[in-house]
Structure 1
C-alpha cells in the first residue's frame, strides 16, 4: 500500500510539473521535407520552446505535413514516435532521447563471414571514401573505397558489432542482424558539428583532426576541421597541409607543397582521378583547389602504393564533393580578395546529385590593401622591374577564377557513374611608364608584363561492384596546363632613343589524356589485391626566349609520347597483428624507349591495441617533370618537360621509411624516419658573360647539369584532443644535399630545399558560438646560393660592365624564420541560414622573415651607369609583415 501511494504521488507531481513547465502555445506550420533540425530551430526561435538534443539523433530526419493549432505536446507526439525519438521534460526544457527499441538477442548462425556495405553521409547521402570499418574489440578492419563501398572479411559472427569512424563525423556503431547478414549494410554517419543553440547537447569529440591511415606515411585530413585555422581570407587546403610534419610551411606566400625536401613538381596531385599540374593562384598566394569542392583528402608523404605512379616524392589524393542526394544546399563566402559560392542538389529524386562551386578574385575591380601588399611581395621577388617602381605606383590588372562541377548518379545498386570537371585561370596585365632621373638625364622606363596560366581537368568514371569480393572502375580523364608569360622592359632617353631593352618570353603547355582501369579483389579472406592499367598520351610544349635568343634546342621545344603502366599489389594479413603489402608498378614508354620496374614493400605490426610499428621500401620513376631554370637576371618559372633520350631522362627515387604510431584516448604520437635518394635531376644554369672584345656587351650562356639528391630526416607529430580544444605539434629534422655535375666542380652542396629544423604548433578552441585558433611556425635558415660576380674595368679602373658566373656558387644561410598567426570567428544561425564572420592576422608580432635574396640588378647597373663602384649587390626578398584579413561565410 505504501509503494502504491508513493507511485501515485510521483505521477501527480510529474503531471503538475509537466503542465506547468511547458508553454501554453499553439503551433501552426507547414513542413515539406523539412529537416528536423530546422523544425527544432523554428520551435526555439519562433515559439520560444527550449529543446535539448544530440545532433546525431536528428541528423538526416525530415518532417512532412500541415499542423494547425497543435499544442506542443500534441505536435511532438505526432512527429517524433515514427522517427524513433522520445522526449522528456525537465526544468522547462524538452529533452529528445532515442526511442525504445526491442532488442532481439539472437544466437549467431554464421561465423567468419564477409560483411559488405556502403558508408554514407546521413545529411547529404554522399558516399564517404576512406572510412575505417572495424569489428568492435578487435584489430581487424578495412577502408571504404572511393564510392564508400567496403568489404570486411573474417567477421567473427553475424551478431558482431561494427565500429565505423570517419574524420569529422561521430563514430557509428552497427549491430549485425542474422536476418540481414547477407544483405548490403547501409551505414549513415552524422557530422561532428557543434549546434549553435544555447540549449543543444553535444558529445565531446574523441576523434582527431589528423589521422594516420593504414598505409605508411598516409595521413587523412578532415577539411571541415581546418576552417578555423588562420588564413589569408579563406580556407586554403594546401596551406593547411603545410602545418603537417614533413611538409614545408615556412613561406606564407607559397601554396606549393614541398614534401620531405623535394620540390612540388615531384608530387602527384589528383582531383577525382585527374592530375593537377599547377597548384596555385596569384603566384602562390592561393592554392588551385577551391575548399568548397573537397570531400576527402589523403596525403602520402612517401612509400605510397603502386596504384599511384608518375611521381617520386609524395601524393595528394583529393575526392571532390558529389552533392546532396536529399535536398538542395547553398553556400557563399567573401573576403578581401575574392568571393565564392557553391550549390549541392539532388537529381532524379535522389538517385543522383550534383555539385557546383566557383570563386573569383575581384582584384581587377577593387585593389584592397591586402592585394597591394601581396602583389608587392610578388614583384619584389622579380629582377625584371626597376626597384624605383614601388607597389603603390604599380596598378596591375589582375584576377583569377575557377569552377568545379561534379555529378554522381546511381545507375543501379551495383553501378555508379560520375563526371567531374575543374577549370582555373589567372590573368595578369601590367603596362607601366615611369620617368626617372639618372644624374642630369631624365629617362623614361616602360614595363609591360602579361601572363595567363591555368589548369583544366575532366574525368568520367564508371564503377561497378560485381560482388562482395570484386570491385572495378574505369576512367577516361584529361588534364591540361598552360603558362604563357611575356615580359618587356625598355629605357628611352630624352630624345626617345632606346638605351636599354630587355625581353623574356615563357610558354609551357601540357596535355595529358589518360585511361585508368582499377580493380579491387579479395581472395581467401586474407588477401586484398589491387591491380590495374594506366595509359597516358602526353604532350608538352616549351619555349624560353631571352632578348630574342631561344634558350632550348628546337627539337626539345615540343615533346609527345605515351606511357603504359601496369600495377598490382597484395595486402596480405599474415596474422591478426602482422600485415604485409607487396607490389610493383611497371612502366613502358616510347619517350625514352625504356622500361621502368618499381617495387613496393610494406609492413605493419600491431604490437598492442594502441601501438603500431611500420616499415616501407619502394622504387619510383617520373617521366613528366619540371627542370629548374636558374637565371639570376630573370623571373622565368620552371616548366614541365617530358623525359627523352637526349636532354632529360627519367627521374628516379628510392624510399626507405620506418616508424611507429601510438594512439589512445584522444592522444596520438607518430614518428617516422625516412631516407630518399633521388637521381636524374637536371638544372639549366644561366650565366651572363662578356663577349670577347666587346666589354660593354654580355650574352647569356646556358649550361646543363645532371644532379642527384640525398635526403634524410625524422618526422614527429604529437596530437591531443580534449573537450573543445584540439591541436598538434609537428617537428621535422632533416638534411638534404645535392651534387650537380657542372656546379662548383661537382662538389656536394646543401640542396635548395634543405632546412634542418622546422616546428609547427597548432591550437584550436571551438565553442558553440565562436572559435579561436593560433599557429606558430619556426624554421631554421634555408640555403642561399650566391653566384660569382666578375666586374669588367677599363684602363682607368672604372667598372664598365659585369659578368654573372652562375656555375660558381657560394652557399650562405638565410636568417631563422618564425611567425605567429591567429584567427577568431563568430558563429551565427537562424531558421534559414547559418554562418561565420571572422578575422585572421598573419605575422602578429611583425617579424621580418626573408624568403630569399636576389642579385640587385638595378642597383648594380645604375652604379655602373653613374661611373660608381657597385656596392649593393644583393637585396632581401621579404615575406609578409603584420597582415590582417576578414572573411564571411554563409550556408543555406
Structure 2
C-alpha cells in the first residue's frame, strides 16, 4: 500500500511539473562567454524569472550568442539543450535538472571548470599525498593533500587532458570525459619500474628523484629511489636528506639534521602529524624512523607556510604508509647491526588497510666488528673515557628497537579515519675497569654508564572531503620523549685509595598533547585558503647534576604550559603565471604571557614554461628548545626546555629567500639565496674552577649567555635523470656568525655550525638485475672553539691543579672533510619472492676525517705533580674510517 501511495504521489507531482506554463517573457540580451550562473542572475533581476538550481550543475557552463525577442521557452531550450541540462516548471518556478544529451567527446561543452578527485597507488590502493596535478601543456597546477584528495580549478574545458606526476611513479594522463565532467575522478598510478631488455635502455625517463614543490624551499623526496644509496645496511631517511643542498652532510650522524646552519632542535619533524623530539638511534648511527614505514617526505628548508609552527629553521613532514587495501604484503631485511620486518594488509574487504613494521638491533647478542667500530667512535667523541689504551675491555650491553603501526579506514567516499603510532627506545649499559700508567704508578679507573632514551607518538585523525572546494581534518595526538643518563667514574691508585671521582647525570622528559584542526577551502577559482587551529599542552622535566652538585640554571625543574596557534594563508593566483601566498600565524601562550604574531609572504612567477622565479619572507617563533651545555669535561647532552619569564623567552627568526628553478627534459637547476637572522638563543657554558675553601677538584660553574645568529647562504642543485642513470650535484656556500653576551666579551664569532663550502655528488645506475651507486662529500673545515686552560703551580713550578675557563675561547678551523661511499646490490625475483643482496662501503679510500677535538682530560690530570704541561692537550674526534657493510632485503 505504501509503495502504491508513493507512486501516485510521484505521478501527481510529475503531472504538476509538466502542466505548468512559463510566463510570457521576451528575452533580448547579448552574452559573450558569460557564465550560466551570471545569465541566471540576469533573468532573476531583470526579467523577474524564478529559477532554482544546484551550483554544481551550472559550474563551468558558458553562454554565447545574441538573442532578440526570444521567448523564455525558446531561450532556455537554446542555451541548455547542448549543455546536458534540462528544466521543469513547478508553480511558476523554473527548476534546472540534469538532462540526457548526446555529447561529442571531442567537442567541449563546459569551460573554465574545476576537476576534483583522488590519487591512489594502482597496486595497493593507498592514497598518495603531494602528487602534482596539472593541465597538460600548462604550468599551473595543484597538489593532492595528506589523504590524496585534490581540486584543480580553471581547467580550460571538459575535454582537457590532466597530467599527474608522483615521485617514484609513472606519469599518468587522464582525458576528461564531457559526460562525466561533474564527477570526481579516481586516478591509479603505477610504480616506475625499469623496462630494460638485455640492459639496453628503451626509453628516456624524465621523472627526477628530487622534485621542488609548489611552495618555496619545499623539496619532495622519493624514498624508494634512495634505497640504492650507500648506507650502513638499510635506507636511512635523514642521512639521505643530508645529500641535499642546505642540509649538512659532514657530521655522519642522523640526529644532526642541520638545515641552513641551524641545529636540529630548530627543525619541526612530523610523522603523520605528531612531533618527533629525538631523531636518532645508536647515538646518531640510525634514523629514529624505520624507512619501511614511510610513504612520503616533504622537506622545507625555510620560508614554510603558517600551518607549521613552533620551529624557526626547517620542516620535515613525513607521511607513513597506510598499508595495502588489495592484497597482503610482507618484507624482511637484515644487516650487520639490526633486522627489520613489515606487514601491509587489507581490512574488511578493502575498505581499510593496516601497516606494521618493526626493527631491532641485535648488538647486545652479537657484537660485530662494525658495531665495535661504531661504538668506539661514540666513546671517543665523549670525555667520559679519557684513554683508549684498553679498548678490548669495552663490553657494552646496547640495543635499540622501534615499531610503527598505522591503520586507515574509508568510512565513506568522503570520510577517512586513521590511527598512527610510533615507539622507539635505546638502551645502553656499560660497566668496566680501565688500567692506565706504569707498574710503579698505576691507576685503575672504574666507569659505570647507563643511558636510556626514546620517543613515542600517537595520532588519531578524521578527515573529510566535503566537496570539491572544501576539505578538513581533525587530529588528536600525543608526543613523548625521555632521556635518562648517568655516568660515574672513580680513579684509584695502586694502593686502592680513591684519587678522583667524576659524575654526571641528565634527565629530560617531554610530554606534548596536541589538537590539530585543519581546513582547505577554494573560493572563486583563484583563492586557495588554508586555515586552522593547533593546541599544544606541553610538560618538561629537567635534571642536571655534575659531580653531585645540582645544576638548575633554567629555574624550575618541571615546566608546563599551553600554546594555542591560529593560522591562515591564501594562495592567490593573480595572473596565469603569477602566484601570491600571504598568511599569518598567531600564537598565544601562558608560558611567557606574551602573544607572538608571525607573517608569511611568498611569490612565484613563471617567466617561461621552464623557468620559475621565487621569493619568500617570514617571521617565526619557537617556544620549546634544546639548551646547549658546552661542557669540555662531561658528555651531557642537550635537553628540551620551555620558554619562561625567568630565564629566556621565545626564539625568533626572520627568513628572506629568493631564487629560480629551471626544469626541462629531465634536467633541473635550482638556486636559492637565503638570509636567516635568529634571536633569543641561549647557551649554558660550563667552566671548571678551583674555589677557595672547597675541594681541590675543579668545580663546575654554569654561565648563561644570550645570543643571536646571522646566516647567509646560497644553495645550488643540478639534477639529471636519463635511462638507468640519475644523479645530482648539490653545493652550498654559506656564512654563519654568532654573538653571545658572556663569551669572548660579546665578540662576534663564527657559529658552531659555520661551514663555508659543502659539495655533494650523487650517482646511481639502476638496472633490472642490479644497481650501482656512489656518493662523494666535500666540506670545508668547521670552527673549533678551544677553552682557556689554566695550570696552577706551586713555588717549585710543579703543577698542582688546573682550571678550565670556558668563557674565553680561541677559534680555529678543523681540516677539510671529504669521503667517498659506494654501493652495489644484486636483485632477484620469482613468482613468490623478490629481493636484493648487496654491499656498501663507507669512506672507500679510508680518509681520516676529524669531526672535532676535545680536551685530553686524562693527560691533563696526569700532569699534576709534574713540572711540564702535557704535549697533547687535545685529542682528535675521528669519524668513520673504511667501513664495509652487507645487507639482505626480501619482499613477499
**Residue 665 of structure 2 corresponds to which residue in structure 1?**
665
Q: Does residue 1:286 correspond to 2:286, yes or no?
A: yes
**Residue 217 of structure 1 corresponds to which residue in structure 2?**
217
- Distance across 2 between alignment mates of 1:481 and 1:391: 32
Q: Deviations over 1:164-223 (max 9, x none)?
A: 000000000000111111111000000002368869997542100000000000000000
In 2 relative to 1, CA 438–703 (structure 1 residues): closer, same or farther, beyond 3 Å? Answer: farther
Q: Deviations over 1:5-54 (max 9, x none)?
A: xxxxxxxxxxxxxxxxxxxxxxxxxxxxxxxxxxxxxxxxxxxxxxxxxx
- Distance across 2 between alignment mates of 1:707 and 1:161: 55
- Distance across 1 between alignment mates of 2:301 and 2:386: 40
Deviation, structure 1 residue 139 = 1.7
- Distance across 2 between alignment mates of 1:729 and 1:199: 26
Q: Does residue 1:699 correspond to 2:699, yes or no?
A: yes
- 1:269·1:277 contact (CA, 8 Å) conserved in 2? yes
**Residue 82 of structure 2 corresponds to which residue in structure 1?**
none
**Structural mapping, 1:814-829, within 5 Å:** 814-829=814-829
**Residue 746 of structure 1 corresponds to which residue in structure 2?**
746
- 2:443·2:494 contact (CA, 8 Å) conserved in 1? yes
In 2 relative to 1, CA 765–199 (structure 1 residues): closer, same or farther, beyond 3 Å? Answer: closer
SS of residue paired to 1:378: helix
Deviation, structure 1 residue 392 = 2.9
In 2 relative to 1, CA 390–758 (structure 1 residues): closer, same or farther, beyond 3 Å? Answer: farther
Deviation, structure 1 residue 475 = 0.2
**Residue 163 of structure 2 corresponds to which residue in structure 1?**
163
- 2:254·2:279 contact (CA, 8 Å) conserved in 1? no
- Distance across 2 between alignment mates of 1:818 and 1:649: 39
**Structural mapping, 1:355-370, within 5 Å:** 355-370=355-370
**Residue 719 of structure 1 corresponds to which residue in structure 2?**
719
**Residue 643 of structure 2 corresponds to which residue in structure 1?**
643
Deviation, structure 1 residue 690 = 1.1
Deviation, structure 1 residue 722 = 1.1
- Distance across 2 between alignment mates of 1:310 and 1:649: 13
**Residue 788 of structure 1 corresponds to which residue in structure 2?**
788
- Distance across 2 between alignment mates of 1:268 and 1:355: 24
SS of residue paired to 2:859: helix
- 1:113·1:153 contact (CA, 8 Å) conserved in 2? yes
**Residue 275 of structure 1 corresponds to which residue in structure 2?**
275
**Structural mapping, 1:766-845, within 5 Å:** 766-845=766-845
In 2 relative to 1, CA 460–254 (structure 1 residues): closer, same or farther, beyond 3 Å? Answer: closer
**Residue 328 of structure 2 corresponds to which residue in structure 1?**
328
Unaligned runs of 5+ in 2: 1-102
Deviation, structure 1 residue 736 = 0.1
**Residue 342 of structure 2 corresponds to which residue in structure 1?**
342
- Distance across 2 between alignment mates of 1:253 and 1:798: 42
In 2 relative to 1, CA 240–113 (structure 1 residues): closer, same or farther, beyond 3 Å? Answer: same
SS of residue paired to 1:697: coil
**Residue 519 of structure 1 corresponds to which residue in structure 2?**
519
**Residue 304 of structure 2 corresponds to which residue in structure 1?**
304
- 2:487·2:505 contact (CA, 8 Å) conserved in 1? yes
SS of residue paired to 2:745: helix
- 1:170·1:205 contact (CA, 8 Å) conserved in 2? no
**Residue 16 of structure 1 corresponds to which residue in structure 2?**
none
- 2:489·2:503 contact (CA, 8 Å) conserved in 1? yes
In 2 relative to 1, CA 465–590 (structure 1 residues): closer, same or farther, beyond 3 Å? Answer: same
- Distance across 2 between alignment mates of 1:626 and 1:140: 41
**Residue 59 of structure 1 corresponds to which residue in structure 2?**
none
Deviation, structure 1 residue 556 = 2.1
**Residue 678 of structure 1 corresponds to which residue in structure 2?**
678
- Distance across 1 between alignment mates of 2:252 and 2:199: 40
- Distance across 2 between alignment mates of 1:739 and 1:437: 42
Q: Does residue 1:476 correspond to 2:495, yes or no?
A: no
- Distance across 2 between alignment mates of 1:659 and 1:394: 51
**Residue 457 of structure 1 corresponds to which residue in structure 2?**
457
In 2 relative to 1, CA 193–104 (structure 1 residues): closer, same or farther, beyond 3 Å? Answer: farther
- 2:360·2:400 contact (CA, 8 Å) conserved in 1? yes
In 2 relative to 1, CA 557–695 (structure 1 residues): closer, same or farther, beyond 3 Å? Answer: closer
Q: Does residue 1:565 correspond to 2:593, yes or no?
A: no
Q: Deviations over 1:546-601 (max 9, x none)?
A: 11101115842110000000000000000000000000000010000000000000
In 2 relative to 1, CA 201–817 (structure 1 residues): closer, same or farther, beyond 3 Å? Answer: closer
- Distance across 1 between alignment mates of 2:237 and 2:775: 15
Q: Does residue 1:240 correspond to 2:237, yes or no?
A: no
Q: Deviations over 1:761-806 (max 9, x none)?
A: 0000111100000000000000000001111000101111111000
Unaligned runs of 5+ in 1: 1-102
Q: Deviations over 1:838-878 (max 9, x none)?
A: 00001111111000000000111112255643221001000
- Distance across 2 between alignment mates of 1:416 and 1:775: 41
Greater shift in the superposed pair: 739-748 or 642-651: 642-651
Greater shift in the superposed pair: 161-170 or 491-500: 491-500
Q: Does residue 1:314 correspond to 2:314, yes or no?
A: yes
Deviation, structure 1 residue 391 = 3.6
In 2 relative to 1, CA 391–232 (structure 1 residues): closer, same or farther, beyond 3 Å? Answer: farther
**Residue 109 of structure 2 corresponds to which residue in structure 1?**
109
SS of residue paired to 1:240: helix
State the number of aligned residues: 790
CA RMSD between the two structures: 1.5
**Residue 430 of structure 2 corresponds to which residue in structure 1?**
430
**Residue 99 of structure 1 corresponds to which residue in structure 2?**
none
Deviation, structure 1 residue 437 = 3.6
- Distance across 1 between alignment mates of 2:358 and 2:454: 15
In 2 relative to 1, CA 532–554 (structure 1 residues): closer, same or farther, beyond 3 Å? Answer: closer
**Residue 415 of structure 1 corresponds to which residue in structure 2?**
415
SS of residue paired to 1:306: coil
- Distance across 1 between alignment mates of 2:607 and 2:739: 41
Q: Deviations over 1:134-162 (max 9, x none)?
A: 01111221100000000011111111100
**Structural mapping, 1:372-411, within 5 Å:** 372-388=372-388, 390-411=390-411
**Residue 42 of structure 2 corresponds to which residue in structure 1?**
none
- 1:518·1:532 contact (CA, 8 Å) conserved in 2? yes
Deviation, structure 1 residue 884 = 0.5
SS of residue paired to 1:696: coil
Q: Which has the larger radius of gyration?
A: 2
Length-normalised TM-score, structure 1: 0.87
**Residue 604 of structure 2 corresponds to which residue in structure 1?**
604
Deviation, structure 1 residue 502 = 0.9
**Structural mapping, 1:562-641, within 5 Å:** 562-641=562-641
- Distance across 2 between alignment mates of 1:196 and 1:249: 33
**Residue 544 of structure 2 corresponds to which residue in structure 1?**
544
- 2:105·2:178 contact (CA, 8 Å) conserved in 1? no
- 1:582·1:601 contact (CA, 8 Å) conserved in 2? yes
